[in-house]
Chains A and B, each alone.
Chain A
Amino acid sequence: MKMPMKSPEFDMSGLGQRLAGQQGPELWRSLEQLADTPAFREAVDNEFAAGAPEWNDGLSRRRFLQLMAASLALAGLHGCTRPAEEKIVPYVNQPQGMTPGKPLYYASTHTLGGLGRGILVEQNMGRPTKVDGNDLHPATPGFDNPLPTAMRFGAADIIALASILSLYDPERSQTVKRVGRVSSWETFALSMEEELARLTPRQGEGLRILTEATSSPTLADQFNRLKVKFPAAQWHQYEPVNQDMVRAGAMLAFGQDVRPIYHFDKTVVVLVLESDFLIIGPAAVRYAHDFAWQRRVRTDRPTMSRLYAVESNLTSTGSVADHRLALKPSDIERFVGALAAKLGVSGGGAADAQGLDADWLAAVAEDLQAAAGNATALVVAGESASPRVQALTHAINVKLNAVGSTVTFIEPVHAFPVEHAESLTQLVADMQAGQVSTLIVIGANPLHNAPGDIDFAGALKKVPLRVHMGLYEDETAFQSHWHIPLAHELETWGDARAFDGTVSLIQPMIAPLYQGRSPHELLALLLGDGRRSSQRVVKDFWLKRWGGVDSEIAWRKALHDGVIENSAAEVRQVTLAPVGAWAAADPKPTGSDTLEVSFQVDTAVYDGRYANNAWLQELPRPVTKLVWDNAAHISPATAARLGLVNGEVMHLSAGTRGVDAPVWITPGHADDCVTLPLGYGRTRAGEVGTGVGFNAYLLRSATSPWHESGVTWRKTGLNHKLVTTQMHHSMEGRGFVRTGTLLDFIHDPEHITAHGHQKKNGVPLTLYEPFTYEGTQWGMSIDLTSCVGCNACVIACQSENNIPVVGKEQVSNGREMQWMRIDHYFEGDAHQPDASHVQPVACMHCESAPCEVVCPVGATTHSDDGLNEMTYNRCVGTRYCSNNCPYKVRRFNFLEYQRPMAPSLELMQNPQVTVRQRGVMEKCTYCVQRIRRADIDARTDSREIYDGEVVTACQASCPTQAIVFGNINDPASRVSQEKAPKQPHAYGLLSELNTKPRTTYLARIRNLNPKLAPQSPAGGAAQH
């Protein structure tokens, strides 16, 4: 199969000419499409790529046909025999409160970077099957469901949603091991007690514990007690994605370690520096929720906030921004300095920093200043921004009256906040010096993710007793004497604090599948009461803290709600430190003979810990749509200058550190710098994650973990196959994403969605029999202004609907199975696009569905309530339906992706959805299982279905509430408010084909600054 994005003869020079001939803004998905090469044409014309139906993975086609013939014969015979007997295995003692066949929901907590996010876990007969956000938790607010009796789901991010797959991962570590041999917890406990007996007289000298960042009050209490027992022992923390920079910035600006909390629901003008705050981080869901609230443009609310983004790589947040400036990291620092100077903040840089876009700077400064009057301005620096940028940002926010309004400060939420790089450096120095006799690593995996200039592996060899506790037998476990399986968060007890300090409890959804133990149990062992379960440890801690007779009630309430009431951290007053602390000189512009490197948290596998999660690996990354890989992102201009093409491997080196990385040309990237996503290149992640991508940690340094300047590069002459879904399932036609400015919306909203091909007057001709849809009719609306492209809906759908993963090879053949896809479009210039847009696409449930009429066996039909149904047991796999679908939303099981399925993964399947086999077409069903459940409940009670009773999986997970679902025949329903005629900017995708899609979109509205985009008020930016 030809991969359009990889063709080496890709010609950048022709682009300029082609673009010059364009009238008005043009939407495009990839550079290849823009150049309109023959390879691109071919890819669009062939929906099923050449060779897609062939089995080419180890099993020959011939052998496969033999197997198939055999299975066909067996299938034929199957009809003539009795069905196999099945068993019913009832409980011995049925648990109270459980109705067999009905799911139960429990609140718990999922942690990221040590901070908690609320989750609600669906449990079917004792098996957790689906994770959603917990509406009551501050980090995971849900959508404003009008129906309080309905299940209140909160939103969630992809990592929390995909954690269910990690729980059932058959490759998780399953047993205690001693030097690679199977052992037991009891043996370990005995051995540890001996060790502790030796340590006690020395007051624990030589005992070191390395953990990741944690906010657990119980764990903190245990560490405190350990400190009393072993005063000479030390606790180190290392997490590669940490808040060191935030901490250092706050110390610079305020002289105290405080952490910012942003209130995007109060903002009108936001400037974001090098931060993907909408999709990455423990507070991302909440921030995206609040941010989207301010940009919810409707006829009765024609206002929205404005977002400026300054960043080096094109992130999701950058895509959402109304104005975006691509700058390399050193220029970002100069930009902030100049902005500070312009706003009159002392200690800034030169106000007219050379080489920066002066107009842009002036317009942003003016806009921010205007919003400062009513304290609605905000500047946000990412966690990777340098301390000086952080400090300048704080100073600017103080100047803009933002502090106390759009940003507040609290004490660090983490238990014993330390500087992680320093903590690790010190540990390694002590290990080298032979001062560490026992090292206990809990959760952390420094052998993979320590910076390249810290020789953790070498130092580790000098430690006489090394204990590792982790979810996987990873790189660090391999070099340890003892390995203890860590219990997954869905199978143990614990607690965690949210980004704002709110405490929530972790409760097990299932008994540990693989003898996992919690850190609390290990700590209890060190404290000398090793027989205590994690439940006892956590519960005793809280009962003691609460005290009194009501503590048991409080415990139960906390478990039920998932949060402990009123436990958020108090707002700290801050005063700016005397000027001078951050008034360093601006970094000098770097020469073009070397590159600047910026490291980025990966949007899917985070810091690498989720590398073995196949859902995340196969998730098309925002913007690039790369799967199963990371790549060195560079701008088209830099690629042209260096003579690099997509997939070409280059060697980057800084001093003695170096890494080989395949290149990915990213429009919108800043010139002369490279962005490297962290978290790949695992060597012992498991079958899924091992050997995927390159390890960018090798190039990282402890002193400057996020940026590296003066990096030299050379070609290696190698090529790496990068797979992207950018051009898969591409639709012919134009006007998919329709955009307009806020001014357009106010003055001439119809113009935004007006479309060249659409007949405005008269009834379009149709061959379909007219049909009146009565009663409840389902429909969906997706707001493109709110959507940030975070992919949560894709994973939620995958989890809800038992969708398989297919692997990198299969994706490269266009066989990915996700029912939802997020299309990404660039607008305008090929080097620095004027804008970029995202559009979630799933089955539109057309009223005049082209797929239905071509099915020869009636496997896809229309239901009375307007669903385009897919009946798997009827489908014979002709694929005619997919050929005839203009939206390309149907997915075909080319191979038996679900079989053989690991027994543990069988437990994960949603019992309400059929697990599809080979040769069957499938697609979005509007979560028909949830609709039918609500339908049956309503029928049982002899009533109609309430508005908000059916929440689709994608809708529930959406942090920005971009997706709304409901009965379009009910004028009062929420979804009806989001459609025409209530909203003039609603439009149907390819509705000019007269398919009458039930899913409609709200056009993307951008709040452009007139000074930066001088356009006529009426629809200058609308698509034609």
Chain B
Amino acid sequence: MARIFSPGINTIARTTAFGLPVLVMLVFGAVRGWQDSSYITGVGRAVNQPVPFSHQHHVAGLGIDCRFCHTSVEDSSFANVPATETCMQCHSQIWTNAEMLEPVRESFRTGKRIEWTRVHDLPDFVYFDHSVHVAKGVACVTCHGQVDQMPMMAKASSLYMQWCLECHRHPEVNLRPTDRVNDMAWNWQKEAQGSAGPPGIQSINTKVVPQLRVQGAPQAGAFQSGVVQPGAAYPNAAYQGTAAVDSQALFDAYRIRTQGITNCSACHR
């Protein structure tokens, strides 16, 4: 009886038995790597814009507060891109003849809107809310990176769901005092050493908490006790300079409820 398999088959079989899983893993790894590559995520890739607006110049160079332009970030889910008139508040006075600002002037002249390209673009079935993050001391830099070092805007994180969940599962890690949310170079050590500079405008904490106009006592002050009092928002004296201890203190002071923040409907509706 003739042999069905030649001796060479053994080698092929061994190679396949060990090689195929390796190959499969390689393929998965490659796909995964491809997915996580900045080519797909867009991390670090500057995006072309109709006007080459430099955050580096405006933030680091001129020291303009984030909220001067992104006015709705504290009140709305959406942090707006400024209207043309916001640009023209300054640029009707300075750099009035600059070539690169012509699209802005044209927009202001003609009423035609400037079409910026989205840098941070979530899928349409994802609902993200800026206001609550800012109110709870999640800094701009945490998600958007050091925009003060970006001549042209680029993503600093993938904005993948996994990335969101890393924080939502341990929200205390990324907290800081709410008057520091727009500080690009802040950290706990600087805060403890007093070298973090003067605090920013405490716009969240000084925001007037809407007074209940309920008939009678509003449920025995249940929520009143939870209101972060202006000025006394966080235990200033307790700063140890260690992120773990201090951000846990903030976590308590800001009364961050973890209930529901990893629910599907927190982001998908």
B63 to chain A, nearest CB (A): 23
Give the complex CA separation of A86 and B75 in angstroms: 23
**Chain B hits for A87, CB < 8 A:** 115-118
The reply to whether the CB of A863 lies closer than 8 angstroms to some CB of chain B is yes
Q: What separation, in Å, do the CA atoms of A914 and B126 have in the docked complex? A: 8
CA of A856 to CA of B260, assembled, Å: 22
Tell me the complex Cα distance, A912–B39, Å: 30
B135 (CB) vs chain A CBs: closest residue: A940
* Cα(A912)–Cα(B78), bound, Å: 12
The reply to whether A940 and B265 contact each other, CB–CB distance below 8 Å, is: no
Please give the number of chain B residues whose Cβ is less than 8 angstroms from any Cβ of chain A in the complex.
Answer: 66
Mark contacts of A928-954 with chain B using CB atoms, 8 A cut-off: 1 yes-contact digit, 0 otherwise: 110110011011111110110000000
Query: For A83, A94, A936, A941, which residue has the most chain B Cβ atoms within 10 angstroms?
Result: A941
- With A943-B223, A943-B227: A932-B213 Cβ-Cβ less than 8 Å: no
| CB-based contact A941/B209 at 8 Å | yes
Q: Which residue of A lies closest to B77 (CB)?
A: A101
Kindly state the interface size class of chain A when it binds its partner.
35 or more
Complex: A632 Cα to B209 Cα, angstroms: 59
Set B83, B209, B214: member contacting A91, Cβ < 8 A: B83
Are the C-beta atoms of B72 and A102 separated by less than 8 Å? yes
B contact residues around A871 at 8 Å (CB): 264-265, 268
Residues of A within 8 A of B214 (CB): 146-148, 946
Which residues of A sit under 8 angstroms from B80, Cβ to Cβ?
90, 94, 100-101
Task: Say yes or no: is A182 at the interface (Cβ < 8 Å to chain B).
Answer: no
- Interface flags for B135-164 (1: CB within 8 Å of A; 0: not) read 110000000000000000000000000000
**In the assembled complex, which residues on chain B have CB atoms less than 8 Å from the CB atom of A575?**
none
A745 to B115, CA, bound (A): 65
B8 at the interface (CB under 8 A from A): no
* CB pair A90 B113 closer than 8 Å: yes
Select from chain A the residue with minimum beta-carbon distance to B211: A149
Output the least CB separation between A926 and chain B (Å).
9
Question: What's the minimum C-beta distance from B38 to chain A, rounded to whole angstroms?
Answer: 10
A566: CB under 8 A from chain B? no
List 5 extra interface pairs beyond A87-B118, A775-B257, CB under 8 A.
Answer: A89-B115, A89-B116, A91-B83, A99-B72, A865-B263
* Cα(A925)–Cα(B124), bound, Å: 18
Known: A83-B121, A869-B263. A940 touches B131 (CB 8 A): yes
The interface residues of chain A lying within 8 Å CB-to-CB of B34 are 80
Query: Of all chain B residues, which has the CB nearest A915?
Result: B124
Among A86, A93, A869, A947, contact of B121 (Cβ-Cβ < 8 Å): A86
B219 contacts the other chain (CB 8 A): yes
Chain A residues, Cβ within 8 Å of B81: 88, 90
Known: A99-B72, A914-B269, A940-B135. A91 touches B113 (CB 8 A): yes
Q: Tell me if A867 is interfacial: C-beta within 8 Å of chain B.
A: yes
Cross-chain contact B35 with A861 (CB below 8 angstroms): no
Residues of B within 8 A of A80 (CB): 31, 34, 40
B125 contacts A869, C-beta separation under 8 Å: no
| Alpha-carbon distance A864/B266, docked complex (angstroms) | 10
In the complex, A18 Cα to B253 Cα: how many Å?
69
Residue-wise, chain B 49-78 has the 8 Å CB interface mask toward A (1 for contact) of 000000000000000000000011001111
Judge whether B228 is part of the interface by a CB distance below 8 angstroms. yes
CB of A588 within 8 Å of the partner chain? no
Choose among B40, B114, B127 the residue that contacts A912 (Cβ–Cβ < 8 A): B127
Residues of B within 8 A of A85 (CB): 47, 117-118, 121
CA distance A750 to B47 in the complex (A): 68
A873-B84 in contact (CB<8A): no
- A872-B268, A943-B226 as given contacts; A863 in contact with B263, CB under 8 Å: yes
A92 engages B265 (CB within 8 Å): no
Please give, as numbers and ranges, the residues of chain B lying within 8 Å of A940 by CB-CB distance. Answer: 131-132, 135-136
- Residues of B near A970 (CB, < 8 A) are 219
> Most chain-A Cβ atoms within 10 A of its Cβ — which of B75, B125, B228?
B125
Q: Could you jot down 5 A-B contacts, CB within 8 Å?
A: A85-B117, A863-B264, A869-B264, A914-B269, A928-B265
CB-based contact B259/A865 at 8 Å? yes
Residues of A within 8 A of B135 (CB): 939-940
Q: Are A149 and B84 in contact (CB under 8 A)?
A: no
B79 CB, min distance to chain A CBs, angstroms: 8
A815-842 CB mask vs B (1 if < 8 Å, else 0) is 0000000000000000000000000000
User: Could you say which residues of chain A place their CB within 8 Å of the CB of B215?
Assistant: 146
**Cα distance, A55 to B266, chains bound together (Å):** 35
Q: Chain B nearest CB: distance from A691 CB in Å?
A: 36
**In angstroms, how far is the closest chain B Cβ from the Cβ of A561?**
18
Given A101-B78, A863-B264, A871-B268: A932 in contact with B127 (beta carbons within 8 A): yes
B112: CB under 8 A from chain A? yes
Does B257 contact A93, Cβ atoms closer than 8 Å? no
Cα of A158 to Cα of B83 in the assembled complex, Å: 38
Shortest C-beta distance, B231 to chain A (Å), equals: 15
A865 touches B260 (CB 8 A): yes
Task: List the A side residues contacting B71 at CB < 8 Å.
Answer: 99
Smallest CB-CB separation from B126: which chain A residue?
A873
Question: CA separation between A93 and B224, bound complex, in Å?
Answer: 38
Q: How far is the CB of A193 from chain B (nearest CB, A)?
A: 32
In whole angstroms, how far apart are the Cα atoms of A869 and B262 in the complex?
12
Q: Are B115 and A148 in contact (CB under 8 A)?
A: no
Say yes or no: is A972 at the interface (Cβ < 8 Å to chain B).
yes
A931 to B226, CA, bound (A): 20
The verdict on A642 contacting chain B, using a C-beta distance below 8 Å, is no
Which residue, of B85, B115, B129, has the highest number of chain A Cβ atoms within 10 A? B129
Say yes or no: A942-B254 contact (C-beta < 8 A), given A87-B116, A871-B268: yes
Contact at B265–A867, with CB atoms within 8 Å? yes
A861 to B116, CA, bound (A): 38
Interface residues of A in 753-811 (CB under 8 A from B): 774-775
Please name all residues of chain A whose beta carbon is closer than 8 Å to the beta carbon of B212 when the two chains form the complex.
Answer: 147, 149, 946
> How far apart are A648's CB and chain B's nearest CB, in angstroms?
46
Instruction: Determine if A981 is an interface residue (Cβ-Cβ < 8 Å).
Output: no
Q: A864-B260, A932-B127 are in contact. Are A93 and B85 (CB under 8 A)?
A: yes
Q: A864, A938, A940: which has the most chain B beta carbons within 10 Å? A: A940
Task: Find the A residue at minimum CB distance from B213.
Answer: A148
Residue of B72, B227, B268 ringed by the most chain A CB atoms within 10 A: B268
